Amino acid sequence: MRKPLIDIKTFKQRRSKLGEKAKGCAIIIASHPEFIRNSDVHHYYRPDSYLFYLTGFEEPESVLVFRPGCNPETVLFVREKNLERETWDGFRFGPDLAQREFGFDKCYPISEFEKVTTDLLENIDKVYYRLNSNHEFDERFFAMLEKARLKKGRSGRGYPPIFDPHEVLSDLRLFKTEDELPYIKKACSISAQAHIEAMKFVKPGVSERQLWGVILNSMMQQGAAREAYPAIVASGANATTLHYVFNDQECKSGDLLLVDAGAEYKYYAGDITRVYPVSGKFTRPQSIIYETVLKIQKQILAMIRPGIPFKSLQDKTIELSVQALLDLGFLKGKPNEIIEQKSYQKYYPHGVSHFLGMDVHDVGYYTVDNESRKIEKGMLFTVEPGLYISLGDTSVPSEFRGIGVRIEDDIFVTDIGIEVLTLEAPKEINELESIVGKKGG
């Protein structure tokens, strides 16, 4: 029999915190549907992050109904125990085992959702449920609401108001707790070691897909469940495509390789980008762009501390990138006009940071009351400046064309500053040149 992946006390504590924010309400979280990959083959299933965050339960066709308040109750609807289906698809908990192993107040078969939840929503002020995430389940949700309305007879009351659960859940996940940190650090360490293995393996003639395989192999051997996102393995000018997905070209002598890859460990994501030369040595133009991006990243890292606006990281990155592009001669004009006209986006088109956690682009509001959110202790996010020079950009010297550099690390905010969780992955030029291509050395 399978066991919960994480101690169930963790999930009870999370529900208790949520209950303090949503008294008198009901929170309904439905699992994602399973999707067909092709013919009768499904994509690998991964449960909804909110559902796992509050329950630790991983099976599809599951729904959480959480009723905080004077008589808090956690109810989970799951697939029924079915020994015949288990012969084909693997172990199922079923309602009885799920209730016992995960500490829910009650568990029911998913087939009873409408019937049971109609009673659970009696005297509820509002419902938190995310619409348009699972269209098939939306129909069941509204059917249940209609039954609940009819049950009230001629009271004149309609549906309870429906709110997005992000309102009460996103801040819980935004601020990482002490019990989450070991999993986050492990995800970052696994990711870093996978990058190192790719660095050692690369050489001219190796394909991007081979390197992707090296990364996946390293992650799995270290205990990761899966990639946190499909890796970007982009050699040469492919690195100037931000979300390059093909990963099928040959790595050639003289090219740089950009690898953006992260592991998922116990539902927490690592997210690292490193860039290094396929042949083991940076050319002068490559080193100029690389050192420019690395310098910008170090300056951004140095400014991060609790209390500064999150937006200031992007503002400073743009300011530094514009000055660097002027110094390189790639842009001309006054910095403030370049920033106002956004002409820098030709070379730096993305943001410098995003929240990280159970999702690689994790939940959390970047603005509060129409102002940039202040950085606080417990936040986890990336810092990833970059410069990308298109192969067809005739406005720059030819030796710089086709160079794409992004350097990304994962940052945890402490009382007084930050802890960089991805330092195991080398990023100084001398470190990279000493390890690239040294497989078995």
CB atoms within 10 A of CB 3: 7
> Of 416, 388, 410, nearest to 400 (Cα)?
388
Q: Is 406 a catalytic residue?
A: yes
- Listed as own residue / partner, the contacts of 2-10 with beta carbons closer than 8 Å and 24 or more positions apart are 2/91, 2/93, 3/101, 4/56, 4/101, 4/102, 5/56, 5/58, 5/266, 5/267, 6/56, 6/183, 6/266, 8/56, 8/101, 8/102, 8/103, 10/56, 10/179
Phi, psi of 264 (to 5 degrees): -110, 125
Choose the catalytic residue: 128, 388, 409, 410: 388
Choose the catalytic residue: 61, 197, 406, 410: 406
Choose the catalytic residue: 61, 227, 271, 409: 271
> Of 371, 365, 379, nearest to 304 (Cα)?
379
Phi, psi of 16 (to 5 degrees): -65, -45
Q: Which residues are within 8 A (CB) of 111 and not within 5 positions of it... i.e. 6 or more apart?
A: 80
Report CA torsion sign: 427, 432, 437, 441. negative
Q: Is 408 a catalytic residue?
A: yes
> Of 356, 360, 366, 367, nearest to 412 (Cα)?
356
Q: Is 350 a catalytic residue?
A: yes
Choose the catalytic residue: 290, 344, 354, 359: 354
Choose the catalytic residue: 37, 85, 100, 243: 243
Q: Is 135 a catalytic residue?
A: no
Choose the catalytic residue: 58, 384, 409, 433: 384
Choose the catalytic residue: 40, 84, 340, 371: 40
Helix axes 8-21, 94-102, angle to 10 degrees: 80
CB atoms within 10 A of CB 302: 10
Element (H, E) at 388: strand 386-388
Q: Is 274 a catalytic residue?
A: no
Q: Is 61 a catalytic residue?
A: no
> Of 318, 319, 308, 322, nearest to 411 (Cα)?
308
Choose the catalytic residue: 32, 149, 166, 350: 350
* Cβ atoms of 252 and 204 closer than 8 Å: yes
Choose the catalytic residue: 61, 180, 227, 408: 408
CB atoms within 10 A of CB 285: 17
Query: Tell me, what DSSP letter sits at residue 381?
Result: E
Any idea of the CA torsion for 37, 42, 46, 47, to the nearest 10 degrees?
110
Q: Is 166 a catalytic residue?
A: no
Q: Is 195 a catalytic residue?
A: no
Q: Is 114 a catalytic residue?
A: no
CB atoms within 10 A of CB 36: 9
Give the active site residues. 40, 243, 260, 271, 350, 354, 361, 384, 388, 406, 408
